[in-house]
């Protein structure tokens, strides 16, 4: 699977320098029975032509959201106390209510989510129109994040699942960094904004807002310290 970078690293000052940080987005297929025996998602490579690994230059600001849910501890003793207090309070103050203070117990941790905005600019390095630099990567992301109708019309599996994505943060030298790394992430939101001027029927600038949600549960092991991991850095890929 070819790796294509946006923008083309050759257009950046000292394109191989570690001062740049990229998000590598690798499309994968998820097995239907991934969660039957383990909480880890089983993935397989996409063998369809026209599917690439993308490297998008990361923006200056990166916001990652992790929500931990803590709920009031409940027991029969506390429920009885709350009911007695509620009745007493209503007798004294009409319809007013208050609850007995209770400690919180850990309930669950929601899956990690990160929203990133990428910019695409027509530089003319891939073709003489903006399609390759601006439009094509956005269209591909939209296609890969959507389901596909099954050709077999099988009621048991009427659609093929959308692709999921392995995310890696790569510096300009091809080294993986411990910033955004997910084994299996779903694209849960895609918002594109095309802007002029227009050249040969295509916009010369676009912004893409993507929200990735980690499919796998969020554990302490999800934040492994990644050091000295180098991946091949193939530049624009074509």
What is the 3-class SS of 77-101, one letter each residue? HHHHHHHHHHHHHHHHHCCCCCCCC
- Alpha carbon distance 228, 222 (integer Å): 18
Q: pTM for the complete prediction? A: 0.78
Neighbouring C-beta atoms of residue 48, cutoff 10 Å: 11
Say whether 164 sits in a helix, a strand or coil: strand
Q: pLDDT tens for the chain, 238 residues: list them.
A: 899 999 988 888 765 556 789 999 999 998 765 555 556 788 899 988 889 999 999 998 888 888 999 887 766 666 666 666 666 666 565 555 555 567 788 889 999 999 999 999 998 888 889 999 999 999 999 999 999 887 766 666 678 889 999 999 999 888 899 899 999 999 999 999 999 999 999 999 999 999 999 998 888 887 776 654 555 444 444 4
Q: Is 57 exposed, middle or buried (0-12, 13-18, 19+ CB in 10 A)?
A: middle
């Amino acid at each position: 699977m070819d790796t294509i970078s946006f923008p083309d690293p050759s257009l950046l000052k000292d394109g191989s320098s570690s001062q740049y940080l990229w998000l590598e987005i690798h499309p994968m297929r998820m097995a239907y029975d991934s969660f039957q025996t383990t909480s880890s998602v089983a993935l397989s490579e996409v063998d369809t032509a026209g599917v690439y690994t993308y490297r998008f230059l990361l923006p200056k600001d990166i916001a990652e959201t992790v929500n931990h849910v803590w709920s009031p501890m409940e027991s029969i003793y506390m429920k009885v106390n709350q009911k007695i207090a509620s009745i007493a309070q209503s007798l004294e103050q009409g319809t007013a209510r208050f609850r007995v203070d209770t400690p919180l117990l850990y309930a669950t941790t929601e899956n990690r989510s990160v929203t990133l905005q990428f910019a695409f600019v027509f530089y003319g390095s891939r073709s003489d129109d903006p399609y390759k630099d601006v439009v094509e990567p956005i269209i591909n992301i939209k296609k890969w994040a959507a389901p596909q109708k099954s050709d077999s019309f099988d009621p048991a599996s009427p659609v093929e699942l959308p692709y999921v994505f392995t995310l890696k943060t790569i510096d300009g030298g091809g080294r993986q960094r411990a910033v955004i790394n997910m084994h299996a992430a779903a694209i849960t939101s895609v918002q594109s904004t095309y802007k002029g001027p227009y050249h040969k029927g295509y916009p010369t600038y676009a912004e893409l807002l993507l929200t990735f949600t980690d499919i796998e549960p969020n554990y302490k092991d999800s934040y492994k310290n990644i050091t000295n991991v180098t991946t091949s850095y193939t530049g624009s890929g074509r």
